[in-house]
Structure 1
Amino acid sequence: MNRSFLVIILFPTHHGSMKTDRTLTAVILLLCALTLFDAMGLIIKHLSPRYGAAELAAWRNTFGLIPSLIVLFTSRDWHAKGRIWKIRQWRLALTRGVILTFAQFSFYLSLGLLTFATASTITYANSLFAVALAAVLLGEKVGWIRWSAVLIGFAGVVWIVRPGGDSFSPAALLPLGAAACYALVGVTARVMDSEVPTPLINLYSSVVALFGALILALFMGGFTPLEHSTDLLWIMAMGGLGGSAVLLLISAYRLAEQSNLAPFNYFGIPLAFVLGWLFFDEAPWSELFPGALLILASGLLIVIRERRLKQA
C-alpha cells in the first residue's frame, strides 16, 4: 500500500495548536512507518520472481485486516456511535476498494519489473493526481501555484518514465497508474459522510481489496505453492510490516496535523534509493535524477501552499 495514499484517506486531523514534543513524536512515528512500508516493498520485490503480484496483494490484505480491525475496535468515535457496520454510501465504499485493488496490483507488479527506487518514486505522483482530481470531481478551486506544482511534478514523472526514448519501459506506466488509483481512492474518501468513522471506511476498502486480489490471483492461474519454507516467514513479515506501518501512521496523524507532517512523507524517496542500493545493488541515478527532484519540489510546493492557505 502506498504511503501518501494512507495519509490522504485514513487519518483525521486535530484542530488547535499541538505541543512541540507531540509533533516531534509524530514525526518519528511517521518516519518509522515509511521505513516499514519500504521494508514491505523490499519483501514484495524479493518474492516477486516466485509469486505473482495478485497473490502477494492477497496475502498483504489478509494480514492488513488485522490493523484495520484493531483501529476500528479501539476507535472511541465508532463505539460512541453505536458500533455501526452498515454505512449509507456503501456502494462508494466498495467502489473505492475495487480501485484500491488495481492500485495495489499495479504497484506490486512494478516492484518486480523496475528498480525499487524507480517504482517507489513514481508513485509519489499521487499527490499531483490528487490535486487534479479534486478540481474535477470535488470542484475545488486550484490556483496557479498548485497547477504549477502539478506541471513541475508531471515533468519529473515524464523525465523518469521517458516515453518514446530508447530507455523507455512500459513497466514504468504501472506505478504511474497505481499513483492515479491511489489518488482517486483518496479524493473520493473526502465525499464520504463525515459521521462515518474513518477506520470503518478503511475496513470496507481493505475487505474489498482482499477479495479483489483473490479474484485476480485465481483469474491469473491461482496461488503458487510455497517453494521454500522461509517464504511463509517472508509473507508473514510482509503483512506484519505493512500492518505495523498502518498503526504507526494512525498514531502519527492523531498526534499532529497533516500539514505539519506532509513534508516528511518525501523522506521515502531517498530512503527507497538507499534501500534498493543496499539490498539489490541498484543505483538508478540516470533513471531518477533530476526527475525525482522535480517530483519532490512539486510536492513540497503544494504543501507550502496548503499551509499558507490554512494560516490565512
Structure 2
Amino acid sequence: MRSTDQTGLAIITSLVALLFFDAMGLTIKLLSDRYTAQELSAWRNLFALIPSLLALWLSKMWRDAGRPWRIRQWKLALARGAIVSAAQLMFYMSLGLMAFATASTIAYANALFVTALAVPLLGEKVGWVRWAAVLIGFAGVILIMRPGTDAFSFASLLPLGAAFLYAAVAVTARLFDDDVPTPMVNFYASVTALTATFLITLFWGGFTPVSSLADLGWIIAMGFFGGIAVLLLIVAYRMTEQSNLAPFSYFGIPLAFGLGWVFFGETPWETLFPGAILIVGGGLLIVWRERRLRHSS
C-alpha cells in the first residue's frame, strides 16, 4: 500500500464520481432514440476533453515538471483509451436497449472485476473480509437483476462486458509512475477514446445532424458529466487500493434505480429489496474492517 493512501477521502471521491456517471447515463438514455451509441460516445469524448484539459492545466505537478506532454508509459495510456472506447460503446448500446436501472445495475458489477483484476495486475493481497464484502454486494446485484427477467437477455451481456472493461481501466490507473499527474493519465485516455470513437462512427453510418439546441446542450452536458466522473474516479483509484473501493461502487445501484424511476417512470422498488440491503451491508463491512485495521496498526 502506498504511503499516500487515503481510503476515506478516496471513498467519498468515488461516490461523487458515481453521481456524475449516473447523470451521464440518464442523458445518454434521453438521447439514445435520436442518436446512435457510437455517435454519443464520440460526442461525449469530445466535450469531456474540456474538463480534462482544465484539470491538466491546473495541475501543479504538471506545471512544476515543465508541462511535458510525453510520458514514459504512453503505450499503457493509449491502450487504456482503446479499452475505454470499447467499454463506452457496449454500455451506451445497452442504455438504448434496456431499462436504465437494469443496464446500470449490471454495469455496477464492475466492483467484483476490480477486486479480481487487482490481484494479478497489481499484486494486491485481498483478505477474506473484503472478498466476502464484494461477494455479498454481488449477491445483492443478483437479487436485483432477478434471473429470468430481461436482465439475462443477450442485451445484458453488453453492460456486463462494459463492467469488465471499466474495471480494467480503473485497475491499470495505478500502474502509472507516481510522478505522472492524474489529469495527464485521463487526458491520454480521453484523446485515444475520442479518436477511436470518431473513426468508428465515420465508418459505421456517420453522424446524425444535431436536431435542436436542446439536444446540443444535453450532448455538451453529457460530455462534462462523463469527463468529471472519470477524472474523480482516477483520483480515487490512485489514492488507495482497488479492493477498498470496490464494494462502494454498489452504492450507485440504488441511486440509478431512483433516478430511473424519477426521470423515466420506472418502478424499481419491488426489485430493489432485499438486494439493496446486501449491497449496503457489503460496503459497511469494508468500513468496519478498515477501522479495525487502523486501530490495530
Q: Deviations over 1:53-110 (max 9, x none)?
A: 1110110110111111111111111111121111111111111111111111122122
* Structure 1: distance between partners of 2:113 and 2:7: 30
- Unaligned stretches of 5+ in structure 1? 1-11
* Structure 2: distance between partners of 1:166 and 1:96: 33
Among 207, 213, 217, the alignment partner of 2:201 is 217
CA drift of 1:299 comes to 4.0
Equivalent residue number for residue 131 of structure 2: 147
2:178 aligned with 1:187: no
Report the more deviating stretch, 234-243 or 87-96.
234-243
2:48 aligned with 1:64: yes
Q: Deviations over 1:169-211 (max 9, x none)?
A: 2222222221211111111111111111111111101111111
- Unaligned stretches of 5+ in structure 2? none
TM-score, scaled relative to structure 2: 0.82
TM-score, scaled relative to structure 1: 0.79
| Count of aligned pairs | 288
CA drift of 1:16 comes to 8.2
* Structure 2: distance between partners of 1:287 and 1:76: 46
Equivalent residue number for residue 106 of structure 2: 122
Where do residues 14-163 of structure 1 align in structure 2 (5 Å cutoff)?
34-161=18-145
Partner AA of 2:180 in structure 1: V
* Structure 1: distance between partners of 2:288 and 2:68: 38
Equivalent residue number for residue 230 of structure 1: 214
Partner AA of 1:61 in structure 2: N
CA RMSD of superposed structures (Å): 3.3
8 Å contact from structure 1 (residues 67, 246) kept in 2: no
* Structure 1: distance between partners of 2:6 and 2:281: 28
Secondary structure at the residue paired with 1:272?
Answer: helix
Percent of matched pairs sharing the same residue: 60
CA drift of 1:228 comes to 3.8
Partner AA of 1:178 in structure 2: A
**CA separation of 1:258/1:90 partners in 2, compared to 1, >3 Å: closer, same or farther?**
closer
Equivalent residue number for residue 276 of structure 1: 260
* Structure 1: distance between partners of 2:183 and 2:24: 22
8 Å contact from structure 2 (residues 111, 249) kept in 1: no
Q: Deviations over 1:226-269 (max 9, x none)?
A: 2344322221222233345567x48x96xxx769x968765533
**CA separation of 1:93/1:243 partners in 2, compared to 1, >3 Å: closer, same or farther?**
closer
Report the more deviating stretch, 170-179 or 198-207.
170-179
Secondary structure at the residue paired with 2:66?
Answer: coil
